[in-house]
Amino acid sequence: MSVELEKNGDIAILRLNRPEALNALSFQILEEIGSAIDDVARMSDVRALLVTGAGDKAFCAGADIKELRNRSLIAQKRGAELGQTVFAKLDALPIASVALVNGYAFGGGAELALACTFRLASQAAIFGLPEIKLGLIPGYGGTQRLPRLIGEGRALEIIMTGRNVNAEEAERIGLVNAVVEGDLMEAGIAFAHRFTRYSLPALEFARCAVQRAHELPLAEGLRVEADLSTLAYQTKDAEEGMAAFEEKRKPEFRDE
């Protein structure tokens, strides 16, 4: 299988398994990724998703260029829409996702990492959106997610030059949350466990509020925050959390 899905306790792990092709994305693999994300959404006992690539060279080296040539205008547009739709499923997941970038993350691979909630990188990680070198531009969300993450000026420079970004720079500019020195999978599981112990409804409300900040003027965003904050107060987990604080004990959240 080119896309594998497994569980480690309360964490799902999605692994691209084409190391001989540097885990490159074909349209078939994009569809398999989408199906795997749908499967994760149906798992009631999973609290985070880790996304990584097999092997020690690449997270994902991007699209399969051979598939992109000699296609009609409609087919090209549908291909871009497929990638965008699949990666947008990560935004719609009720749980957070963490990209574990263990090597090359180019083109669609970088865009897959950008679509995740968080990103951890090995010291060997290298990011890039090199489409400009082919007379193209990113089509799976890179032009939209990168500036939201690191700012318009830096994003334009990376996209318009097609240059690579190593792990050290990626951490410095906020492209990744951390660079890991040891086992990346172990670090990813530990990172996820920093938030999986909290109430899933509250975590989802928080993600939704922050995501809307990119879309709305401040006044409207504040209204969304007030609405979501009010909803959070109505959950049983909120009552448990406040009671535990007053009673000086650890809360026992039930995702209710």
The residues that are catalytic are 111, 131
Return d(Cα 29, Cα 18) in angstroms, integer: 10
8 Å CB contact between 99 and 116: yes
Give the pair of three-digit tokens for residue 74: 């409609």
Nearest residue to 98 via CA among 167, 38, 50? 50
Report the distance separating Cα 46 and Cα 135, nearest Å.
41
Residue 63 has, within 13 A of its CA and on its CB side, a CA count of: 24
Q: How far is CA 42 from CA 36, 127, 199, 223, in A?
A: 10, 31, 18, 30
**For the CA atoms of 7, 13, 17, 19, what is the dihedral angle to 10 degrees?**
-120
Please give the span between the terminal C-alpha atoms of the chain, in angstroms, as a whole number.
36
CA 235 to chain centre: 27
Q: How far apart are CA 26 and CA 20, in angstroms?
A: 14
Q: Which amino acid is at 8?
A: N
Say how far apart CA 169 and CA 163 lie, in whole Å. Answer: 12
C-alpha to C-alpha distance for 125 and 250, rounded to whole angstroms: 37
